[in-house]
Amino acid sequence: MNTMARATAVPGGRLARLARLGSLATGVAGGMIAEGARQLAAGKRPTVGDLVLTPANARRVADQLAQLRGAAMKVGQLMSMDAGNLLPPELAAILARLREDARTMPMSQVVQVLETHWGQGWEQGFERFSFTPCAAASIGQVHRARTHDGQELAIKLQYPGVRRSIDSDVDNVATLLRVSGLLPRALDLAPLLEEAKRQLHEEADYLREAGNLQRFAGLLGAEADFVLPAPVPALTRSDILAMQWVEGVAVESLDSAAQPVRDRIAGLLIGLLFRELFEFGLVQTDPNFANYRYDAASGRIVLLDFGATRAYSMTVVDAYRRLMSGAIRNDPATMSAAAQEIGYFQEHLHASQRDAVIALFAEACEPLRHDGAYDFGASDLARRIRDAGLRLSMERDFWHTPPADALFLHRKLGGLYLLAARLGARVPVGRLAAPYLERPPGTRPA
């Protein structure tokens, strides 16, 4: 699809953004009335859920949130990836659309952003600057440029108004979803919403992301299997991140590559997650496939987008070490104690629900227990985890939001499992994890 054909100006002011949400609520309500009249005419007695979750309303919600971008779109992304097992399948499908539906700024707005941060005449510093974005996401879009000395750069521009709209957008969208009946009333979203705000404020700080890039590059050192784009400090601002352009193809496009190539890519990324958690204590928590590219010439994996980077305390790291070790040994008592320390269990949880959660964890750790290479392509693990989560979420008194540390780590692991399945990869997950699970508590590799 032509990227610029889907360019729409981002509403930057709070009133303009609130008007978008108001029009969405009006449209959903109108759609409910029309659908209700249609079903009554057909002799049916529809429920509120039947009226809200119509295909037309699904399009209204996804289209309006995608046009708002920013925090409004990010809330949908977070909920669709992290709380999907606790949401109606129809709503999960609506929100999942947002991961693929980022619109772009028109050229006039791009120029406005560049002049605001680089000043008039900024174009004189470049031999070429492409106004057609090569990528677009929830809070920014990326352009390619070349300096007069031949440097190829990726320039990430933040959409106008994103930072100042984060808190109000998150609250407004959550209210809209709640009052429209799209969310279970028993689901406590407050912790997730506060975490979404915190993470979004961090992601919207491109100076912080540049620092994360440098920090990860230092942690990886001379690692030959990965490459990160080096930031360009002279051109980087709070709303502009200038980086070295790194060649590569979308990693999910390699699903027909030779089996050893697919195995190596998935193995490197899963192994990197273990390093991030157990060695670095710092995890890039966004598993979007677009954050990984592959340079066939060098055989290196390109790592992108370090805005969503989370530090993990040694206490949480040790608890996950025990949780995984307990799963490998089939030791529910150890797993339960570790999950309690992570903060996963709430006071009202019944013993049977606690056991179901531990069983779900054990299922997710199946690749760690497998002897040899685990064949993700031949496994139905993702379906089994989804079905188990759905069965548990049908119990109304179970609904709760997991602790933020768990939520984002599970999101990352689940994303890597999905990527490995997409590639049909065979990965010795247990062997990759073993060096970290065998270490004593409170220690990291030197």
Distances (CA, A) of 390 to 122, 275, 283, 356: 53, 31, 27, 11
Q: Is the pLDDT of residue 57 over 90?
A: no
Residue 127 above 90 pLDDT? Answer: yes
Residue 3 has pLDDT above 50, yes or no: no
Selected residue with higher pLDDT from 249 and 36: 249
Percent of the chain topping pLDDT 70:
68
User: How far, CA to CA in Å, does 402 sit from each of 129, 195, 282, 333, 408?
Assistant: 44, 11, 19, 20, 9
- Greater confidence (142 vs 135) lies with 142
More confident residue, 392 or 384: 384
Cβ 119 vs Cβ 209: under 8 Å: no
Residue 195 lies in a domain: no
Number of domains in the chain: 3
Residue type, 213: L
**Same-domain status, 177 and 145:** no
Which neighbouring-strand residues pair with 155?
143, 242
Asked whether residue 266 is assigned to any structural domain, the reply reads yes
Residues 11 and 82 in one domain: yes
Indicate if the pLDDT at residue 243 is higher than 80.
yes
Radius of gyration of the chain from its Cα atoms, rounded to whole angstroms: 23
Catalytic residue among 169, 286, 318, 405: 286
pLDDT digits (tens, 9 = 90+) for 258-297: 999 999 999 999 999 999 999 999 999 887 888 999 999 9
pLDDT value of position 31 = 47
Confidence category of residue 35, pLDDT binned at 50, 70, 90: very low
Whether the pLDDT of residue 36 is over 50: the answer is no
pLDDT the model gives residue 378: 95
9 falls within a domain: yes
Top pLDDT among 4 and 236 is at 236
251, 293 in Cβ contact below 8 A? yes
The reply to whether 399 falls in a domain is yes
Give residue 173's domain range. 4-101+166-188
- The answer on pLDDT for 101 being more than 50 is yes
Relative orientation angle of helices 351-364 and 381-393, to the nearest 10 degrees? 170
Is 387 catalytic? The answer is no
In angstroms, the CA 52 to CA 181 distance is 7
Q: What distance in Å separates the CA atoms of residue 367 and residue 356, rounded to the nearest whole number?
A: 19
Give residue 149's pLDDT band: very low, low, confident or very high (50, 70, 90).
very high
Listed in sequence order, the DSSP H helices in 150-234 are 162-179, 190-203, 206-220
Residues 252 and 237 in one domain: no
Q: Is the pLDDT of residue 255 over 80?
A: yes
Is residue 183 located within the same domain as residue 118? no
Is residue 198 situated within a structural domain? Answer: no
* pLDDT value at residue 352: 76
Residues 407 and 289 in one domain: yes
**Per mean pLDDT, which of 36-40, 72-76, 254-258, 382-386 is the most reliable?**
254-258
Residue 276 lies in a domain: yes
143 and 259 assigned to the same domain: no
Whether residue 395 has pLDDT greater than 70? no
**Is residue 352 located within the same domain as residue 411?**
yes
120 with 261, same domain: the answer is no
Is the Cβ–Cβ distance between 12 and 161 less than 8 Å?
yes
Q: What is the pTM of this model?
A: 0.81
Considering the domain architecture, whether residues 442 and 404 belong to the same structural domain is answered as yes
Q: Are residues 137 and 215 in the same domain?
A: yes
Query: Which segment, 94-98, 122-126, 347-351, is predicted with the most confidence on average?
Result: 122-126
Is residue 34 pLDDT above 70, yes or no? no
In a domain, 199, yes or no: no
C-alpha pair distances (Å), 227 with each of 43, 132, 248, 326, 348: 62, 25, 10, 34, 46
More confident residue, 15 or 148: 148
152 in the same domain as 298: no
Highest mean pLDDT among 50-54, 75-79, 190-194, 397-401: 190-194
Question: Is 200 a domain residue?
Answer: no
Contacts of 340 (CB under 8 A, 6+ apart): none
The predicted model gives 333-357 an average pLDDT of 82
Instruction: Assign 408 a pLDDT band (cuts: 50, 70, 90).
Output: confident
Contact 103, 7 (CB under 8 A): yes
